[in-house]
Every structure is written in structure tokens, then in C-alpha cells.
């Protein structure tokens, strides 16, 4: 049987301060966005730029670390997998959202008022994601 691969690695800037909440089980979950920008020169010689936004979700210990250390504008490396979830909104319409479920985060660049030591965090290997 052939195996699949769902692995995503992005380096970008945090688009909004992380928001943490707790599931009914008490397990923390943190969400935030990361923007990646690519630039190129088109056939007419014009410089072009395009930004892609990723909705990131971190669980457990990694959620707490992201909430504690990440701030809007910081450069960050996120590794994880893509997952699309669906739900019905208040009007009964089916909605979809694709998220990068993080299992690793490395804070890049400098942090104001902090040492140059890198912040690196990985989700525990024994953790299970509820969806």
C-alpha cells in the first residue's frame, strides 16, 4: 500500500498576535496567521509581489509556547501538516477552513530586549490531535 505525505514548511511573518483558548478537556489550542511573500519580475520587466496567508493552529505545549513567544510582525518558521475542517454556520451553510496544524515552531530574527538565543519548540510525539 502506498503512503501519502502531508508536510508543510513555511517561513514568514506572524500576521496577528496568537490567540489561545482551552478545549472542554482543558487542552490549550493557539491560533494565529503567518504571511509569506514571494516576488518576481514579469515578462514586461515589472517587479511583482504576492502574499500568501496561512491560518496556523498549535495544540498542547506548543500552543502555550507560541502564545508566550510570538507577536505580530515576528519572523517564524512553522512546520506541520495541512488540514481542512468543515462546519455549518448560523445560517446553515457549510463552511470550510484549511489550516496548518503546527508540530514545530522556530522563532527567527531578533527579539527586542531578549538574548539572541533561538526559540524552538516541537509538539510532543505522544500528543494526538482531536481532528
Instruction: Tell me how far apart the 2 most distant CA atoms of the chain are, in Å.
Output: 56
Q: Distance (Å, rounded) from C-alpha 45 to C-alpha 57?
A: 38
Q: Which residue has the higher pLDDT, 123 or 92?
A: 92
| pLDDT tens track for 8-57 | 999 999 999 999 999 999 999 999 999 999 999 999 999 999 999 999 99
Q: Are strands 47-59 and 94-107 parallel, antiparallel or unpaired?
A: parallel
Closest CA to 74 of 25, 107, 31: 107
Q: Which domains does the chain have, with CATH numbers?
A: 8-35+48-122 (2.40.50.140)
Q: Tell me the backbone φ, ψ of residue 110, rounded to 5 degrees.
A: -95, 155
Binned at pLDDT 50, 70 and 90, residue 2 comes out as confident
Question: 102 — alpha (psi -120 to 50), left (phi > 0) or beta?
Answer: beta
Q: Distance (Å, rounded) from C-alpha 41 to C-alpha 32?
A: 30
DSSP for residue 45: S
Give the pTM.
0.79
Q: For the chain, how far is it from start to end, CA to CA, in angstroms? A: 24
Q: Are strands 75-88 and 19-22 parallel, antiparallel or unpaired?
A: unpaired
Amino acid at each position: 500500500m502506498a503512503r501519502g505525505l502531508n508536510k508543510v514548511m513555511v517561513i514568514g511573518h506572524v500576521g496577528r498576535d496568537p490567540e489561545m483558548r482551552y478545549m472542554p478537556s482543558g487542552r490549550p489550542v493557539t491560533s494565529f496567521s503567518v504571511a509569506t511573500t514571494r516576488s518576481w519580475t514579469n515578462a514586461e520587466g515589472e517587479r511583482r509581489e504576492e502574499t500568501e496567508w496561512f491560518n496556523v493552529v498549535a495544540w498542547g505545549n506548543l500552543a502555550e509556547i507560541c502564545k508566550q513567544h510570538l507577536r505580530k510582525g515576528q519572523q517564524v518558521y512553522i512546520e506541520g501538516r495541512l488540514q481542512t475542517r468543515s462546519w455549518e454556520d448560523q445560517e446553515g451553510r457549510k463552511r470550510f477552513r484549511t489550516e496548518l496544524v503546527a508540530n514545530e515552531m522556530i522563532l527567527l530574527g531578533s527579539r527586542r530586549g531578549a538574548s539572541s538565543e533561538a526559540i524552538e519548540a516541537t509538539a510532543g510525539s505522544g500528543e494526538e490531535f482531536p481532528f
